[in-house]
Structure 1
Amino acid sequence: MRTRMITPAVVFAVAGALLLSACSPAEQTARPEPSGSATSARPSGPSMKELSRTDVRTVIDRLDRAPISERDDAVSASIRTDRVVLGEDGDQIEMAMPDGLTYISFAPYRSQTHDCTFHAPSSCVGELRNTELHLTITDLATGETYADEQTRTFDNGFIGVWLPRGITADVVIVIGDSEARSVISTVNEKDPTCITTMPLKKRG
C-alpha cells in the first residue's frame, strides 16, 4: 500500500496496513441497492486526486453530504481526530485537520445501530436518514455552547459538527418527544469521531 504526501496539508506516515473504513458492510444498517442489473454502472463520485486538490473541510462536507445513491465506494475515507485518510486503488493520502479543530459525526437511533470508532462517510449509514432534530453540544468544563440548533441528518443518517480539539462535551439530540445523550472527547488522537451510541428515549 502506497502513501502519498500532499501540500499544504501536513501528512502523517502510515505504518503497516491501515484500516480505512470503520463501518464495514456487516456492521452498518442496510443500504439501498442500486437500481438495474448487477452490471449497471455505479454512480461516479470524485476521485481521491480530485478531493486532494480541495481543502479538508470541503472534502469532509462533500463526502458526508453525498446522497447514498450517488456514493462511489471506490474512494474510502476515515475521519480521525487530527486527520482524514483517503484511499483509492491501494494508494493513501492523509490530510490534516484545521489547526485546533476536529469533525465529529453523530447517528442517533431508535432500534438499530452499528459499531463505529472513526467515521467513514463512504460507507457508514445510520438508521435515521434525513431526519429533523435539535442538537446541543456544551463544554463540560467551561459551559461554553458549541451547538444549539435545529438541523437534520444527512442522507447517510449522520449529522457532523466541527468542534475544538482538547475538549470534553455533553451532547443532546432531541427528535420529537425523544432524546439521546452522550459525552464525547476530542482530547486524544484515538478518540472516536463516529458516535453511534445514542439511543433515543422518551423524554420524562
Structure 2
Amino acid sequence: MRRRIAVAAAGVVLVLAGCSTTEPGAGETSGAGAGETAAAGATEAASSGVEGRLAAYDLDGLEADDIVDELDRLPLAERPDDLMASVRVDQLVLSDGEEELAMELPQDRFYVSVAPFVEQTHECFYHSLTTCTGELGGEEVQVTIVDDAGEVLVDERTTTYDNGFVGFWLPREVAGTIRVSYDGLEGEAAFSTTDDGATCVTTLKLA
C-alpha cells in the first residue's frame, strides 16, 4: 500500500524548494455547464488532483521510492509539466499546483541525486524530479561514493539520466565524498544523509 502523509487543501500556496524558481502551474478548473452529464463530471474529478496526475503517468500504486526512480530517469521530452515532485529528507512531496501530497520515503535510505558539470550548474538543495536539469545528460561517468569512515558505498560506471543527474539510495546518517570521473576530467563534492542533508548535489565541478 502506498504510504501517504498528508494532502493539503486546494488553493494553498506551495513552496517546493528545488531547482525550479517558479511555482507549479495552477490546476485546471472545471467549466461545467448545465448541459454536462454527471458521468462527464465524475470522469473529470477522477483525473484531477495529484492522484489523477500520478495515474496519468502510470505512477499510481507505486511506493514513493519507486516514483522517485521513475521520474528521475524520464526523458526530458516526457517530463510532466503539470506535476511537481520534490525529494526531501524523508518525504516525496508531490503537487499539481493546487493540491499537495507527501509520501514517506524509506527510513533506512536517503536519496542523493548528483549533477556533475564542466561549465554550467545551478543552485539546488532539494532535488526536483520534474524541473531539475544538469549539464551532462546521457554521459558515461565513473562514480565513487565514500563515507567519512572510509567505507565505499558506491563504485560503478554508469550513465547520467537525460536530465543530467544520476541518483543513488544511500544509508542514512552518514557523510562523505562523491567523486566523479568523466572524459579525462575529475571532481568531487561532499554529501550528507543526515536530517539537514541535501538531496540535490550540483557543486561537483569536473576539471
Name the TM-score class by shorter chain: 0.7 to 0.9
Amino acid aligned to 2:101 = I
Give the distance between the partners of 1:137 and 1:106, measured in 2 at CA.
11
Quick one: which of 162, 167, 170 aligns to 1:160?
A: 167
**How far apart are 1:123 and its partner, in Å?**
0.3
Counterpart for residue 77 of structure 1: 85
Determine if contact 1:21/1:76 at 8 Å carries over to the other structure: no
Matches within 5 A, 1:1-204: 8-9=2-3, 11=5, 17-24=13-20, 47-49=53-55, 51-141=59-149, 143-188=150-195, 190-201=196-207
Q: Tell me how large the CA RMSD over aligned residues is.
A: 2.2
Determine if contact 1:48/1:86 at 8 Å carries over to the other structure: no
Structure 1 residue ranges without an equivalent (≥5) = 1-6, 27-45
Amino acid aligned to 1:194 = C
State the Cα deviation string for residues 137-188 of structure 1 (Å, max 9, x = none).
01112x2111000001000000000001100011100002111101111112
Give the distance between the partners of 2:104 and 2:95, measured in 1 at CA.
15
**How far apart are 1:18 and its partner, in Å?**
3.6
**How far apart are 1:13 and its partner, in Å?**
8.0
Give the distance between the partners of 1:112 and 1:25, measured in 2 at CA.
17
Q: Relative to structure 1, is the Cα distance of residues 191 and 13 closer, same or farther in structure 2, using a 3 angstrom cutoff?
A: farther
Aligned structure 1 segments of 4 or more residues deviating by more than 6 angstroms:
none
**How far apart are 1:71 and its partner, in Å?**
1.0
Give the distance between the partners of 1:84 and 1:111, measured in 2 at CA.
30
Amino acid aligned to 1:153 = T
Give the distance between the partners of 2:59 and 2:100, measured in 1 at CA.
12
Amino acid aligned to 2:168 = V
Determine if contact 2:147/2:177 at 8 Å carries over to the other structure: yes
Counterpart for residue 29 of structure 1: none
The count of corresponding residues between Structure 1 and Structure 2 is: 174
Larger radius of gyration: 2
Q: Which has the higher helix share?
A: 2
Structure 2 residue ranges without an equivalent (≥5) = 23-51
Q: Percent of aligned positions with the same letter in both sequences?
A: 36
Determine if contact 1:48/1:87 at 8 Å carries over to the other structure: no
